[in-house]
Amino acid sequence: MNTLNAEEVARLLHLNVKRVQNLAREGKLPASRVGRKWLFQREALEALLGRSAEPSPNRSLAISARNRLRGQITKLALDGLMAEVQVRIGDQDLVSVITRSSAERLGLKIGDEVYAVIKSTEVMLGKEGGEE
């Protein structure tokens, strides 16, 4: 169970701390009062928002994309707001450009095993020696 205080809930819900406390006092947010502080269960708040809590390390994440390629990060370049991640998949390299904050949030580093998820409405194929 993950317990949050009023300030953390305010950040999660993008509300003012006083508004969060008032909503708890009115019974509109599930909370418990301990002394002078309000405590909230993250799972209950996430359920109210219609989403599940953040994935924990021991819980898998299901996604709809079928094109998932497992590989190992061989190069990682962080520059400004972006990150270029090179992933070795078999004997091929795939390069993905993602936001720097995503790379940092995932804790990416060279040598990590990752999944490249490819979701596209169009896939083109090429063959050497074919018509141009």
Q: Alpha-carbon distance 129 to 127, whole Å? A: 6
- Residue 17 domain boundaries: 3-48
Half-sphere exposure of 76 (CA within 13 A, CB side): 16
User: Quick check: 58 pLDDT over 60?
Assistant: no
Residue 101 lies in a domain: yes
26-54 pLDDT per residue, tens: 988 889 988 889 999 888 888 777 765 55
Q: Alpha-carbon distance 87 to 56, whole Å? A: 24
Residue 39 lies in a domain: yes
Q: Alpha-carbon distance 32 to 38, whole Å? A: 6
99-125 pLDDT per residue, tens: 998 899 899 999 999 988 887 766 666
Residue 40 lies in a domain: yes
What is the reported pLDDT for 43?
A: 85
DSSP classification of residue 121: S
Tally of domains in the chain: 2
Q: Which CATH number is 23's domain given?
A: 1.10.10
67-101 pLDDT per residue, tens: 778 889 999 999 999 999 999 998 999 999 999 98
Q: Are residues 73 and 42 in the same domain?
A: no
DSSP classification of residue 13: H
What is the reported pLDDT for 47?
A: 79
Residue 42 lies in a domain: yes
The proportion of the chain whose per-residue pLDDT surpasses 90, expressed as a percent, equals 35
pTM, two decimals, is: 0.49
